[in-house]
């Protein structure tokens, strides 16, 4: 019989993360957001809880859980704040996961224990200024010279790339040409602090202001040949797999934001009075909040379904794209409606819904735009490119 109820372990994890978010994040995150400051104490708290090691085996310092456990944690974090949630998502599904999925055993033993413990963070260097959604347009190059890769190029919008905890960034680079003339793209791990690797100043962003995002430049950066992650020439395919998984995680984050909008709107509707009554007594507000709950609920089922297929070893590319598209839409729509319910207060940065409104838009862009998700869904349905 089909049953969407969670196992006790998942329920316990969700409850623990929710309590941490309410008690440790909610009271202080507004200050970090306003100062555009990375919340090191909060990240340390998440590390102590083992969140950075959730989907990894104990042999590498992980918690022995699965990807769905990570998604549940992301949803509860984003229900309070998305900057903290994206720090975890990028650190795990984009930073550490390429090493786990495709790295050698030596690379796993070298890097994963500290990444799983949350003592260090890894980044995912795919996007370039002129590439955007066209990841195959990579211009960064890497050539072998005396047993070392020499890397030149740049990467844009890279999360967790400039913190005091950053240990490495796995980058895609053109390492040659195939027989048919197409680019051979490989993935290479570059430790933080490697000579020639420059971390630019932090971006001035619309949202996610308490997360870390930088442009990276590589000028004759030399790393050992054994820093190749996975097979030479398979870097693009590897990162597409990472992005498919990451879309489920981003969907969970979007659901968290959408549900957080419901939470805040319910609270405010019970407190705010207009024309002698709480505004929650008016059907116009009730219907808005009901529609918001429908969006969050529907998007949650979508990412649950995608995660289930992934964990059962079934194809999930289409389902991940559906989940990402539905949840990002839900986040944007709910943030807009929550801001409307709050009125003028919703336009203030110090309110959670003000932050939710600013944070929601990037969910329609990062890890594949909404247009890319529709393209993927159409292709999976058998429609010609």
Active-site residues, by number, are 367
Q: What is the largest CA-CA distance in the chain?
A: 79
HSE, side-chain direction, 13 A CA sphere, residue 47: 18
What would the 3-class secondary structure string for the chain be? CCCCCCCHHHHHHHHHHHHHHHHHHCCCHHHHHHHCCCCHHHHHHHHHCCHHHCCCCHHHCCCCCCHHHHHHHHHHHHCCCHHHHHHHHHHHHHHHHHHHHHCCHHHHHHHHHHHHHCCCEEEEECCCCCCCCCHHHCCCEEEEECCEEEEEEEEEEEECCCCCCEEEEEEEEEEEECCCCCEEEEEEEEECCCCCEEECCCCCCCCCCCCCEEEEEEEEEEEEHHHEECCCCCHHHHHHHHHHHHHHHHHHHHHHHHHHHHHHHHHHHHHCEECCEEHHHCHHHHHHHHHHHHHHHHHHHHHHHHHHHHHCCCCCHHHHHHHHHHHHHHHHHHHHHHHHHHHHHHHCCCCHHHHHHHHHHHHHCCCCCHHHHHHHHHHHCCCCC
């Amino acid at each position: 019989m089909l049953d969407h109820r969670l196992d006790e372990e998942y329920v316990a994890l969700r409850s623990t993360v929710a309590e941490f978010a309410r008690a440790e994040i909610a009271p202080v995150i507004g200050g970090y957001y306003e100062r555009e400051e990375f919340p090191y104490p909060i990240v340390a708290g998440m590390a102590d809880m083992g969140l950075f090691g959730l989907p990894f085996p104990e042999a590498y310092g992980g918690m022995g859980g699965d990807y769905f456990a990570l998604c549940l944690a992301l949803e509860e974090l984003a229900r309070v704040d998305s900057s903290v949630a994206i720090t975890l998502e990028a650190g795990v599904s984009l930073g550490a996961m390429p090493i786990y999925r495709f790295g050698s055993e030596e690379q796993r033993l070298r890097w994963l224990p500290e990444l799983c413990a949350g003592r260090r963070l890894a980044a995912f260097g795919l996007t370039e200024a002129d590439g955007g959604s066209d990841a195959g347009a990579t211009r960064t190059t890497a050539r072998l010279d005396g047993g070392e890769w020499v890397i030149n190029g740049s990467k844009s919008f890279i999360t967790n790339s400039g913190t005091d905890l950053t240990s490495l960034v796995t980058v895609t680079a053109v390492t040659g040409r195939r027989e048919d003339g197409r680019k051979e793209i490989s993935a290479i791990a570059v430790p933080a602090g490697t000579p020639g690797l420059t971390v630019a100043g932090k971006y001035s962003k619309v949202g996610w202001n308490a997360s870390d995002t930088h442009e990276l430049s590589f000028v004759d950066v030399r790393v050992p040949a054994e820093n190749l992650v996975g097979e030479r020439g398979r870097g693009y395919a590897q990162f597409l797999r990472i992005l498919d998984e990451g879309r489920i995680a981003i969907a969970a984050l979007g659901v968290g934001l959408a549900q957080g909008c419901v939470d805040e709107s319910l609270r405010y509707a019970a407190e705010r009075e207009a024309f002698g009554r709480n505004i929650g007594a008016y059907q116009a507000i009730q219907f808005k909040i009901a529609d918001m709950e429908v969006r969050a609920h529907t998007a949650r089922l979508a990412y649950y379904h995608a995660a289930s297929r992934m964990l059962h070893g079934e194809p999930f590319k289409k389902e991940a794209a559906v989940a990402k598209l539905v949840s990002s839409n839900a986040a944007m729509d709910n943030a807009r409606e929550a801001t409307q319910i709050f009125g003028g207060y919703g336009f203030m940065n110090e309110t959670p819904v003000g932050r939710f409104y600013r944070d929601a838009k990037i969910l329609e862009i990062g890890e594949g735009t909404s247009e890319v998700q529709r393209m993927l869904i159409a292709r999976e349905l058998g429609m010609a490119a």
